[in-house]
Structure 1
Amino acid sequence: MTKAEQWKFRPVFYFEVMPEGYEYGMGFYEGRPAYMQAFRKKVDAAPDAFERLVKDTAKMKEFVLYGDSYKRPMGKGDYSPAVMDWYQRKSLGLTASREIDDLLFSPELVDFGNRRFAVFSRIGGFRCGRLGKIIAYVWIPKGDSCGGIK
């Protein structure tokens, strides 16, 4: 498998702008069975830490968990329903959507995005161990001072 094909099996962070709004999130689009088994082993090794992470994410109320679930129960099944919702996934991700708003065009968007991507990094780190650097590219139209940023 080439490196270009491997992206589907790693955590993917995204920020997408569309005419009707914008979305941001993270996902593991094709979690291979062995990869998801490794994830469940990490949950099994630190269930309290993962439960806190799940609860912290749920408090934000903006994210929707997605991904296909296994038909048969995986693992012991003795975790809270919130943890089991994650545990039972073949692949998983979090996404949030917003309508076009002033935040999208303000310098505060960078801090907003960094806080969200920090949440995703915690989940991704739990999932696959250590993550590499996250590098963000920001496109600013020529001639737009964007709050003083050039």
Structure 2
Amino acid sequence: PLRGRVSRIYRDARRLHGRGPFKDHLWISVEAPAESVWTVQPCFWFELGPDEWSYGLGYYAASPSTMMKLRARMERDPKPMETLTRRLNRQQEFSLEGEEYKRPKEGAPSELLAPWYLKKSFSMGHRDKLNESLFTRELVDRLKTGYEFLLPYYDYFVTLESDPDPREPG
């Protein structure tokens, strides 16, 4: 089962005084129900802003523990993530995004996995300017194809929380 979330653009009209809305982006996200805070779970999203739209998969704010688990998993068994990374690098729709550490993390098992080691949190997203294509059937097909492409990444990331904590002796 998955859970959906929808943002709202709101501002109390009695207190506008010439200012615009409190939030200027609408988004929906879909993620697995979890006991932890939703912002630290991988989720699929679609977002509309005043000038652009985007969609993809990632974390709103991955916890440091989640990123440690990701690095530890890549060190233990780099092949699955290398396969996913090569697949991501061969296509044009999605790119790896996210804030990077000021001091880069060392120890990536391969050059291919090094970009993942630099991220504090990450997403694989596509951004585009608002245009007529947003209101066509082709957008639905594009999103379906895109989310199907991202599904193996979701399957990989959603299980990170069950990995052992790399800080604890095992």
TM-score by length of 2: 0.62
Q: Equivalents in 2 of 1:98, 1:71: separation in Å?
A: 28
1:72 Cα shift? Answer: 4.1
CA 1:88–1:21 in 2, change beyond 3 Å: closer, same or farther?
closer
In our comparison, the structure showing a higher alpha carbon Rg is: 2
| Aligned twin of 1:106 | 136
Q: How far apart are 1:40 and its partner, in Å?
A: 1.7
5+ residue gaps in structure 1?
131-150
Aligned residue-pair number: 127
The root-mean-square deviation of aligned C-alpha atoms, in Å, is 2.6
Q: 1-side partners of 2:156 and 2:37: how far apart?
A: 19
Gaps (5+ residues) in structure 2? 1-33, 161-170
Q: Which of 42, 52, 56 is the aligned partner of 2:87?
A: 56
Tell me the residue number matched to 1:117.
Answer: 147
Structure 1 stretches of 4+ moved >6 Å? none
Q: Which residue of 2 aligns with 1:85?
A: 115
Change (3 A) 1:47 1:70: same
Higher relative contact order (CA 8 A, sep 6+): 1
Q: Which amino acid aligns with 2:94?
A: F
Q: Could you report, residue by residue, the CA deviation over 1:98-131 in whole angstroms, capped at 9, with x for unpaired residues? A: 233454222232221122112333222212328x
1:23: which partner in 2?
54
CA distance in 2, matches of 1:6, 1:40: 21
- Distance in 1, matches of 2:101 and 2:51, equals 33
